[in-house]
Structure 1
Amino acid sequence: MSHHVLLIGGHGKVSQLLTPLLLSRSWNVTSVIRTADQKPTIEALGKNQPGKLDVLISSVADVKTESDAKQIIERVKPDWVVWSAGAGGKGGASNTIAVDHDAAIAFTKASIHTPSVKKFLTVSYLSSRRGKPSWWSDSDWETAQKTNNEILPTYYKAKVAADEVLTVLSRERLEKEARDGVPEKELFAGISLRPGGLTEEKAGGVKVGKIGVGAKTSRHTTAHAIVAALETGFKGWLDVIDGDEDPKTAIQKLADQRIDTSEEENWEAAKERVSKL
């Protein structure tokens, strides 16, 4: 079945690796980029591919509200949305908040509240969580705390808030769809894909599920994991690092076992925070 993917942050390194993978499956892609000078680079990714590639020039930093994001979604009409945008440390804390918090949450809300959007996947990172899960060691927790509170404090606050919005609102939509009798295969999928430290290594195998922090994930492998998550119907938080398993096989196993690494977060408190955003 063909799909139309709205890829937000299309000029990013992971997105440029992801775009040909999506197109090679005869899926259509609308790639959102920030400036016109990025357009030739993106258009080159669509050459000799069975899927159709469109480019939309629109700075996500200008997306302030759910209504702003909704306008783009209504214009593009995707059935799947992938958020792979990020300030990348440029523009200081204000730009990180504008992109990784405000725009990310706006697109998350707009996607979940659009019935024709069936999947929303955001690229997050392994340490984006508030509590220490039982499968982390004390050393894992110390590493995550250092990253989140000392190295990337603004980024962490933005990403963990966006992850919470995704999870809380996805669960609400799933509950409504289940009450309405939507078949299981057609239920909405909200996915937070959470790699380790990104590298330029070649694509390889993965280790997924309940894993510690501090490991690396190749950008190439991350792109393949995104495709696998979309193809398998995975729902929830998907932690992924470099390993030995085939991405699709490993992620399908998690989907079948309903393993979701968000399970030990305090979701009652998260609901309260999300209600104020």
Structure 2
Amino acid sequence: MATTKVLLLGGHGKIALHLTPLLLAKSWNVTSVVRNSDHESEITALGANKPGKIDVLVDSLDDVTSIDRAEKVLDKVNPDIVVFSAGAGGKGGPSRTKAVDEVAAKHYITASVNRPSVKKFLMVSYIASRRGRPSWWTDDDQAAAENVNTKILPAYFAAKVEADEHLAAAAKKRNEKDSSFQAINLRPGTLKDDPSDGKVLLGKTPARGDVSRESVARVAAALLERSDTRGWYDLLNGDEPIDDAVARCVKEGWDSIEGEDLDRIYARSV
């Protein structure tokens, strides 16, 4: 059986640094994309005593201004799975946020979804990245989300919601021809550096709350390991073991995209 190959975009981010050894422990090979070559040794060290192989590719998402640039990286790596765990992190202002979180993300989404050999695409987004109001949110949830999206992180919201909708639309078209393709959108709450206790709240969650970055990585690994995970997964700290939470969401057919204008999203040009 061929070894699973993962392209991890934003490889030096805190979630990605937690995720990399989890993927390597599955005997998967990971190509971690970073823009600063100084981080190469730190990432390479994550492969110590792991059965999978780690490679580092120095390439800047700021320069992914066309689908051709994304396709060149995909040609080089030939991944089965693409994970977008990158973000401008507020560095460089709104223009860089748009360049990385929207423009580069959309080019990688399109290039990946159009490539039959890519079987899964996982996006790390955030819990309030949506234009609609889900039925399970309270008035306070909605007010908190609006405050984040319009006053605290307006440029980030504008970029992320565009990328999230683009992935949903592209995946819908891919699934019409290939029902096995998995587009996974993992949507954590406020990120914290606390150690994970292995328990989460996944699926129908409030719009507010914290979650460990390590838990985000562990949930991402659990979602990628299965062949039946797809759609939007909202994530906070909680009381349910991670594998049980993922299995429950799958059994329930849960998708947190519920409440969005799907006709508009699926009509998008991708």
The interval holding the TM-score normalised by the smaller chain is over 0.9
TM-score, normalised on structure 1?
Answer: 0.94
1:157 paired residue number: 158
2:124 paired residue number: 123
Aligned equivalents of 2:251, 2:4: Cα separation in 1: 22
2:245 paired residue number: 250
1:174 paired residue number: 175
Aligned equivalents of 1:70, 1:121: Cα separation in 2: 17
Q: Is the 8 A contact 1:234 1:252 kept in 2?
A: no
Aligned equivalents of 2:250, 2:108: Cα separation in 1: 24
Q: Is the 8 A contact 2:30 2:55 kept in 1?
A: yes
Aligned equivalents of 1:151, 1:131: Cα separation in 2: 18
1:259 paired residue number: 254
Q: Does 1:234 align with 2:234?
A: no
Determine which of 183, 205, 215 is the counterpart of 1:221. 215
2:56 paired residue number: 55
Aligned equivalents of 1:257, 1:171: Cα separation in 2: 20
Q: Is the 8 A contact 2:168 2:266 kept in 1?
A: no
Q: Is the 8 A contact 2:172 2:266 kept in 1?
A: no
Displacement of 1:25 after TM fit? 0.9
Q: Does 1:212 align with 2:213?
A: no
SS in 2 for 1:94: helix
Aligned equivalents of 2:68, 2:83: Cα separation in 1: 18
SS in 2 for 1:269: helix
1:89 paired residue number: 90
SS in 2 for 1:117: coil
SS in 2 for 1:29: strand
Aligned equivalents of 1:268, 1:244: Cα separation in 2: 35
1:183 paired residue number: none
Query: Which residue identity lines up with residue 196 of structure 2 in the other structure?
Result: A
2:149 paired residue number: 148
Displacement of 1:256 after TM fit? 2.3
Q: Could you list the per-position Cα deviations for residues 185-209 of structure 1 after superposition, in whole angstroms to 9, with x for gaps in the alignment?
A: xx00001000000001111201111
Q: Is the 8 A contact 1:46 1:53 kept in 2?
A: yes
SS in 2 for 1:116: coil
Query: Which residue identity lines up with residue 230 of structure 2 in the other structure?
Result: K
Q: Is the 8 A contact 1:100 1:159 kept in 2?
A: yes
Determine which of 268, 271, 274 is the counterpart of 2:263. 268
* Paired residue total: 267
Q: Does 1:75 align with 2:73?
A: no
Displacement of 1:212 after TM fit? 0.8
Q: Could you list the per-position Cα deviations for residues 214-236 of structure 1 after superposition, in whole angstroms to 9, with x for gaps in the alignment?
A: 11110010000000111123100
Displacement of 1:74 after TM fit? 1.2
Identity in percent:
47
Aligned equivalents of 2:67, 2:176: Cα separation in 1: 21
SS in 1 for 2:108: helix
Displacement of 1:245 after TM fit? 1.2
Displacement of 1:175 after TM fit? 1.3
SS in 2 for 1:45: helix
Displacement of 1:14 after TM fit? 0.6
Aligned equivalents of 2:234, 2:56: Cα separation in 1: 30
2:189 paired residue number: 196
Alignment of 1:9-24 (within 5 A): 9-24=10-25
Aligned equivalents of 2:253, 2:118: Cα separation in 1: 22
TM-score, normalised on structure 2?
Answer: 0.96
Aligned equivalents of 2:5, 2:215: Cα separation in 1: 22
Aligned equivalents of 1:220, 1:35: Cα separation in 2: 23
Q: What is the aligned-residue RMSD (CA, Å)? A: 1.1
Q: Could you list the per-position Cα deviations for residues 9-43 of structure 1 after superposition, in whole angstroms to 9, with x for gaps in the alignment?
A: 00001100110111011111000000111111111
Displacement of 1:126 after TM fit? 0.3
